[in-house]
Structure formats: C-alpha cells, structure tokens
Amino acid sequence: MDLDVITKYSALHAKPGGLILQYGTAGFRTKAEHLDHVMFRMGLLAVLRSKQTKSTIGVMVTASHNPEEDNGVKLVDPLGEMLAPSWEEHATCLANAEEQDMQRVLIGIIEKEAVNLQQDAFVVIGRDTRPSSEKLSHSVIDGVTILRGQFHDYGLLTTPQLHYMVYCRNTSGQYGKATIEGMEMKSNERCCSFDGDADRIVYYYRDADGHFHLIDGDKIATLISSFLKELLLEIGENLNIGVVQTAYANGSSTRYLEEVMKVPVYCTKTGVKHLHHKAQEFDIGIYFEANGHGTVLFSKVAEMKIKQLAKELEDNKRKVAKMLENIIDLFNQAAGDAISDMLVTEAILALKGLTIQQWDALYTDLPNRQLKVKVADRQVINTTDAERQAVTPPGLQEAINGLVKKYRLSRAFVRPSGTEDVVRVYAEADSQESADSLAHEVSLAVFQLAGGVGERPQPGF
Ligand code: 16G
Ligand code: MG
C-alpha cells in the first residue's frame, strides 16, 4: 500500500477542517456539499472491510427521505446486513480525521482489525436519484481504486437491491442470482407497468415467438367499456356510456369501440384535465389516453341507480348490480390511478376468464410512429378539432393532407408539446414502413413550414 499516493489523492477529496460527522442510524447524512471526503474515505474503508472479511462489501449513496440537498452513505456487510458496530466506529474516526491524520487513522484500523493488505477486495456501489449522488459515488470509486480494490458500480439502485446484491455475491448465488433485470418475462405471461408517479398503466406480454405486445390505454378502455356495457345489458339498465380518447388513440381502437361495441367515442385535446372534463358529461364516462392515463367516472344519478338496483333486483341480476356497485368503488374517480386501474383490469380478466392474448386480440393496432421536431417557437402551431388539424402556420395542414393521401388507412397530426420544447408528430398507416415514412414526411413539412431549427429530420429511427 502506497501511503503517499493515498495522501495525495485524499487531498483531492479534502475534508473541510473541523467538520465532525457521525456514522449514525443509517450511515452518514448531511449536506451533499460536505460529503466528498466522506465518500472517498468510505471507499477506502469498504476495501479494508472487504479484505478483512474476504467478501464483497456494498456502499450505498443515499440519504433516503432527507431533503434533496442532503446526501449520505452507508456500508453493507457480507451477508447483506448493516455494517458491524465496531466498524461503524472506524468509519466515524476515518471520516473525522483531519487530512494530516488520515494516514495514521487508516493504519490504526488496518492494525486493529489485522487486515491482510495482500488479500483481494471487491466493492459494489449503488446510488439514489439525488442530483448529487452520481458525483459522490465517483468519490467512493476513487477511494476503492486507490486501495486497489475492484468494484462494480450498479448506478441507480434501491437500497434493498444493493443489500441483496451483496448477499447473493457472497453466497455464490445460493441465496439468489445477483441481478437487477427485475422480473423475467416468460412467454405469454401477463405483465403491467406503472409510470413514476403511478398515474399511468400499460399491460404487455411477449408471445411464443418472442414478439412484444403492448396493451395500451386504448385497449384498457376497450376492456372496461365492454365489461361495463355487458353488465348494464344483463340488468337491463340503459345508462348513457361515453368513451373519451385523444388524437393519439389508435385508429383501430376508435373503430372497434364505435363499430363493434357500438359505444360513442369522443376526442379531446391531450391532457387528463380535458378528458376528465368530457367524461363528466355521461352517466358512465370512460376515459383513457393511449399512454395509460385514465379512469371511469360515474355520475351521481348512475351511482344511485346502481346502488338501488343492487338492493331491489333478485338472483343473478342482483349479483350483477352488486358487481357494478363494487367496481364503482374500485375506480379512483378523482384521477386516473395505475393501482386501481390494475385492480379493475385484473378483476375483469378473472371474471371473464380472459387471457392477455384474448384481450389483445380484440383488435389489432394500426402501425404508428411518433416523432419530435425542434422549431424556434412551437407556439406558431395552433390546432383545432381536438388537435387533429393545424390552423397555423399557413399551408401546414394542406401539406399534411397531401401526405396522408399517399398512404392507406393513414392519419397524421402535429401539435406543440405541452411538456417539452418540441413539436410532436403522430402518424399511422397500414404498415410500419408507411407509418414511419409518413411521420418522416410530416416532420419535414413541420421543419420547413414551422421554423425548424438544427438538423433537418432524417429518415430512419
Ligand atoms: C402530461 C399529461 C398527459 C399528457 C402528456 C402530453 C396529465 C396529468 N398529464 O403528462 O395527460 O398525455 O402531458 O405531453 O395531464 P406532451 O404535451 O408533451 O405531448
Ligand atoms: Mg405520471
């Protein structure tokens, strides 16, 4: 061990003089700006602990629930547990040693714990999503490498995942496989995902040939609408159902809802508030964006009627009315809610005995493509007809109409994004090739007529 090299590198992660921190309940935590030296030194300490235990040690950079400006670090012991208390003391001493005392403290730990410096060391590192975490985890890595430890940086990881990785690695895979890929998607198995704040949901599966099938908000709306319509038919109740979509709804879904299921479909501007508002006009308003935002709203009148029927009707009809009454409670009528939508979907699939493949087969999505175009000012694009027609800039809608005519079963529209500084382009057609080519041509029209900036849109995706 070259102590001079360590001292030299330590100075690059210099400790603010006089700063005293404690390895507390869950490691060190304080303002991120005060933690660089702690991270470097915990990298050193993890290597020593790894050498001593002849095991992989974990280092997690996180301050859990603390405010964003804070950060923290904790070490994970060989069986995935928290660091042994005697080493917590070493951690505190090492973190608090002034620069000139660092070497001495380090040697003290090596001697006290009889660390064999010839032993190999391996450290695994994880971090949370705080803006400061990436840089701080690099300081940990600096500490590990300067002591010639090997490492694997998992990047973003939950804390329990890191504990799990350490445990798996130290038990030669007996406890489990040290992998973060999450679940394994077996063929034809039903899967679903939520977005980060759990207000969107999509289902999907991989078929026996390995093809991925996405079951989006449109198909969820279709499943729910058909189920509710069937129940209403069974109890002979003629409540007014409406399905609300946006221009992003796949053309096949709209056609299926209108022509096969015979439910009226309405199109609003993109954004939950627009769909929600429209859905309030019906006894039962089913709204979903293709991207998975959605729920079902029941008017007070509908709710009362269903509750009354659940009391009045008999036998099977009563059961059906009761089922409707229960499903009202399962929906979150305040806003689309991935968890409640999943429970509704699971209940419907179970009650109808439907597999995900049967559900998927209700209709086949038209191939489609979405693209973004950068323009100087996206507000030059104004739309009407629920964003399906561009009113300005002049000539743009005419150009789109001309392009759409070249393809079969085609449709395209453009709109300024409400969340990013781009113009979004959507195109669908009878084949993927056509949808891709139409989207590209429309992008070029936007670029030319709406003040495109940077490179012209290129074909190919
Ligand atoms: C927001 C909207 C979502 C919409 C998306 C469109 C809510 C809660 N979320 O995420 O409904 O689909 O924006 O984004 O309203 P864009 O305007 O960038 O295409
Ligand atoms: Mg969301």
**Does residue 298 contact residue 279 with C-beta atoms inside 8 Å?**
no
Interatomic CA distance for residues 60 and 161, integer angstroms: 10
State the closest ligand 1 atom to the C-alpha of 418, by its place in the atom list counted from 1. 17
Establish whether domains 3-171 and 368-450 are of one fold: no
CA distances for 432 relative to 309, 398, 425, 461, angstroms: 48, 23, 15, 12
- Binding site membership for substrate: which residues? 289-291, 415-419, 424
What are the residue ranges spanned by the domains of the chain?
3-171, 217-361, 368-450
Q: Quick one: how far is CA 401 from the chain centroid?
A: 35
Mutating to test ligand 1, I would choose from 197, 245, 270, 420 the residue with most ligand atoms within 8 A of its C-beta, which is: 270
3-171 CATH choice from 3.40.630.10, 3.40.50.970, 2.60.200.30, 3.40.120.10:
3.40.120.10
- Interval between CA 294 and ligand 1 midpoint (Å): 12
**Tokens representing 221?**
């709306």
Neighbours of 402 (CB within 10 A): 11
Peptide linkage before 131 cis (omega within 30 of 0): no
* Secondary structure (3-state) at 70: strand
Domain 217-361: give its CATH architecture. Answer: 3-Layer(aba) Sandwich (3.40)
Mutating to test ligand 1, I would choose from 295, 419, 423, 425 the residue with most ligand atoms within 8 A of its C-beta, which is: 419
Cα Rg of the chain (Å, integer): 29
Interatomic CA distance for residues 389 and 87, integer angstroms: 67
**Tokens representing 433?**
């090739």
Q: Is 370 in the pocket of ligand 1 (CB under 6 A)?
A: no
Class of domain 368-450: alpha beta
What ranges make up the beta strands (E) of 353-403?
368-373, 382-384, 389-392
Interatomic CA distance for residues 292 and 295, integer angstroms: 9
Could you list the pLDDT tens digit for every one of the 461 residues in the chain?
A: 677 889 999 999 999 999 999 998 889 999 999 999 999 999 999 999 999 999 999 999 999 999 999 999 999 999 999 999 999 999 999 999 999 999 999 999 999 999 999 999 999 999 999 999 999 999 999 999 999 999 999 999 999 999 999 999 999 989 988 888 877 889 999 999 999 899 999 999 999 999 999 999 999 999 999 999 999 999 999 899 999 999 999 999 999 999 999 999 999 999 999 999 999 999 999 999 999 999 999 999 999 999 999 999 999 999 999 999 999 999 999 999 999 999 999 999 999 999 999 999 999 999 999 999 999 999 999 999 999 999 999 999 999 999 999 999 999 999 999 999 999 999 999 999 999 999 999 999 999 999 999 999 998 86
State the closest ligand 1 atom to the C-alpha of 248, by its place in the atom list counted from 1. 12
Q: Is 118 in the pocket of ligand 1 (CB under 6 A)?
A: no
**Nearest of 187, 68, 188 to residue 129 by alpha carbon:** 68
